[in-house]
Amino acid sequence: MKTKHMTKLFAGFSVALAVQTAFAGNITDINVSTLPDNQKIIKIRFDKDVTTPHGFVTSTPARIALDFANTNIRLPQPVLEYADPLLNQITAAQNNDRARVVLGLNKISQYNTEIRGNEVWVFVNESTDQTNAAVANERAATPSTARATQAYQAVSAANIDFRKGARNSGIIELSAPGFSGQPDIKQQRDRVVVTLKNHTLPTQAQRSLDVADFNTPVQNVTLKRIGNSTQLIIRNNNANWDINTKASSGRFVFEISPKAANTESGGLNQNANKSFKGRKISLDFQDVEVRTILQILAKESGVNIVASDTVKGTMTLSLKDVPWDQALDLVMQARNLDMRRQGNIINIAPRDELLAKDKAFLQAEKEIAELGPLYSQTFQLKYKNVEEFRKILRLEEYDSNNSNTRNTLLSNRGSALIDPATNTLIVTDNRGVIEKFRKLIDELDVPTRQVMVEARIVEAEDTFFRNLGVKFGSGGASGRTAWGSNWSNAQTNYNTNASFNRGDVGYRTWTLDPNVSLPTAAAVNSIALVRAFSSGALGLEISASEEQGKSKTISNPRVLTQDRKEAKIESGTEIPYQEASSSGATSITFKKAVLGLTVTPNITPDGQIIMTVKINRDTPIDCTVDSLTTKCINTKHLNTQAMVEDGGTLIVGGIYEEESTNAVNKVPILGDIPVVGNLFKSRGKRENRRELLIFITPRIMDNVGNNLRY
């Protein structure tokens, strides 16, 4: 029995020794000395194996961080406070096998390090040139501490800083010196939205950091102004992440890390379906108490483990280079244990015991809800209509005769009333339900985003028309030659001048109808010739016309609407027409001929806009129906659904028409004779080209600071 006890003692001592030797050295003391010109020397003492630090500097807040690899901290007090114009605090913290010493400064400073014996001396002096200090800081930073920072005024309403943390985590620091309240933090699938209510951010202080290249779950960090509040949006690459939040005196730190292994319950789950990312350790035990193993795992992991009094028994383990969380999972499976985790504390107990506690807790909550006092809370909605809110939550006013009107969000004794006049919701229920309503209203009662949708309808038309015609005729009479601009003028000229021609006895009337009449439709230029002979006359008229035209019409309707709300705008005329009924009575009805835009936008979570668009471009034209001239409508209509990025332009439709006509009118047989046949034919050529293009551009409008531009 004594031998067995000595074996356990030796095994425990060996494990403790192995853990201790995993570190190169321990930081045992930190002293501060002052040199002339307010230069500081921070002396960090090691018990052995001094490690060269890797450090970086931040400007907001001003601080210097030094990382010591394979180093443990053995300080009696990890936080040291100083009342000094330059140095205000020194903090030492352990992170797995790395120790970090952070020097809190009152001013931006420069530093350099030097190893002297078993101490690391850090020389810190105030920077006389902030620009040079920034360059020096950037050179001092290592790849593991690279960060994306947007720095502006020294005293600013808010500032953001990003750096890469341990285990590929992304650390976002939000500094808001003038904010003294609690931030409103909302987690969504792929983002975290932090709102500092009633904390105004200057327009020039708005920032957006693209940090996708740092290989963390964080892809983008945006700081912007929303009304009188400041909003921080942390966009992540997927939904597989965890967040840890810290706050202190207007400074908020958000650490976004890849989701850890699912160790919420031990049970009988197979390890093949789990992912273990803890630091690797090696264990070799024989007949060691389970509680001792849990104590060692707590020290290795850095988390707090609380074991129930019912955790008993011994185990034999031989593990090499196994993640600590996997070793913990194996221990729980072997001893039928389970765990419940709250923050950095893990409670371990037999599975049946934890299930019994969970059941008792839920039963107690149910009894409190059924027997506890009822409270009334009034919620006045700011942006949502209370009627719409009632439909969203499927709330119905209390009806004692109809229990089916209750919503599952309310308890059996709860009720909800609405007052449309004041846009108020009144909830009567226990405190838990009222708190659920408060959180729901905070998430749902927010301003609806707005979209300005601009359509551009471009119509272009190119026309060309050419026509060549001829009139040719002969008649009998005696006389001479006459000419004119057309057939009639030539005959008139001949008759007018007849009395002046030799051998003519005076004015005569002469009508000569053409034998071939193939003129142009509307002659622009023509020439005619009439030649009289002793026994008759021969007449010829040639006419030609050419027409070319280009037109371009641009229509630009635009409309502003809320997300998922239909908007419509029209401009044009209404054409009246008669409509007869079956009884014979007639009435006047109007038909619209308008330029119209109807759109319903839908803003997606990633900032894209899906739109259902209807565009019509109707114009009234003259037409003939049953030999009567009336009005008809030339219609161009588009109905589609498309997705466009914010501020992008998309061609959602287009029509191209080309019409070409060549016509020849001629006298049979005579018109086919070469050369001479041209006197017996007319030619016409017509070309029309029409093109219609429809562009659409949506823009998401912020609630504040956007002017509509026309």
What is the average pLDDT value for the chain, to the nearest integer? 77
Residue 463 belongs to a domain: no
Same domain, 562 and 627: yes
Same domain, 557 and 600: yes
DSSP-assigned beta bridge partners for residue 571: 595
Q: What is the pLDDT of residues 534-548, one digit of tens each?
A: 555 666 777 778 888
Of 544, 578, 596, the domain-final residue? 544
CATH code of 320's domain: 3.55.50.30
Region of poorest pLDDT, from 195-204, 300-309, 498-507, 686-695: 498-507
Residue 605 belongs to a domain: yes
Dist. CA 76–CA 391, nearest whole Å? 60
Distance (Å) of CA 26 to CA 119, 281, 297: 11, 20, 20
CATH code of 131's domain: 2.60.40.3500
As to burial, measured by CB atoms within 10 angstroms (0-12 exposed, 13-18 middle, 19+ buried), residue 92 is buried
Same domain, 494 and 632: no
Q: What is the pLDDT of residues 595-633, one digit of tens each?
A: 888 999 999 888 889 999 998 888 888 888 877 788 888
SS3 for 37-54 is: HHEEEEEEEECCCCCCCE
Dist. CA 198–CA 596, nearest whole Å? 41
Of 348, 326, 323, give the one whose Cα is nearest residue 337. 348
Of 544, 565, 600, the domain-final residue? 544
Q: What is the pLDDT of residues 624-642, one digit of tens each?
A: 887 778 888 888 888 999 9
- Predicted local distance difference test score (pLDDT) of residue 474: 59
Dist. CA 355–CA 377, nearest whole Å? 35
Same domain, 413 and 479: no
Of 224, 73, 233, 8, give the one whose Cα is nearest residue 706. 224
- Extract the tokens encoding 579: 């409509």
Dist. CA 33–CA 45, nearest whole Å? 14
Dist. CA 276–CA 262, nearest whole Å? 8
Residue 294 belongs to a domain: yes
Dist. CA 306–CA 343, nearest whole Å? 13
CATH code of 406's domain: 3.30.1370.120
pTM of the predicted protein model: 0.45
Same domain, 107 and 123: yes
Query: Taking CA 21 as the corner, what is the angle to CA 118 and CA 325, rounded to the nearest 5 degrees?
Result: 130
- DSSP one-letter code for 678: G
Angle, helix 290-301 to helix 2-21, in steps of 10 degrees: 10
CB under 8 Å to 77, separation ≥6 — which residues?
Answer: none
Residue 262 belongs to a domain: no
- pLDDT over 80 at 118, yes or no: yes
Give Cα 109 distance to the centre of its chain.
39
Same domain, 300 and 402: no
- Predicted local distance difference test score (pLDDT) of residue 210: 82
Q: Higher model confidence: residue 666 or residue 122? A: 122
Same domain, 495 and 560: no
| DSSP codes joined into one string, 484-536 | ESSHHHHHHHHHHTGGGSTT--S--------SEEE--SS-SEEEEEEEE-SS-
Of 187, 150, 170, 182, give the one whose Cα is nearest residue 58. 150
Quick one: average pLDDT of 34-50?
A: 82
* C-alpha dihedral sign at 45, 46, 51, 53: negative
DSSP-assigned beta bridge partners for residue 147: 163
Query: Taking CA 242 as the corner, what is the angle to CA 253 and CA 702, rounded to the nearest 5 degrees?
Result: 65
Backbone dihedral region of 304: left (phi > 0), alpha (psi from -120 to 50 degrees) or beta?
Answer: beta
Residue 614 belongs to a domain: yes
Same domain, 380 and 424: yes
DSSP-assigned beta bridge partners for residue 119: 45, 116
Residue 243 belongs to a domain: no
Residue 408 belongs to a domain: yes
Query: Taking CA 421 as the corner, what is the angle to CA 416 and CA 423, rounded to the nearest 5 degrees?
Result: 55
**444 three-class SS:** helix
Residue 475 belongs to a domain: yes
Dist. CA 413–CA 435, nearest whole Å? 16
- Label residue 149 by pLDDT band (50, 70, 90): very low
Same domain, 564 and 693: yes
Looking at the structure of the chain, the number of domains it has is 5
| Residue type, position 241, single letter | W
- Domain span at residue 75? 1-145
Same domain, 416 and 433: yes
Of 120, 145, 170, the domain-final residue? 145
Q: What is the pLDDT of residues 270-287, one digit of tens each?
A: 454 567 878 888 888 888
CB under 8 Å to 502, separation ≥6 — which residues?
Answer: none
Number of CB atoms found within 10 A of residue 638's CB = 19
Same domain, 588 and 687: yes
- Label residue 490 by pLDDT band (50, 70, 90): low
Same domain, 7 and 46: yes
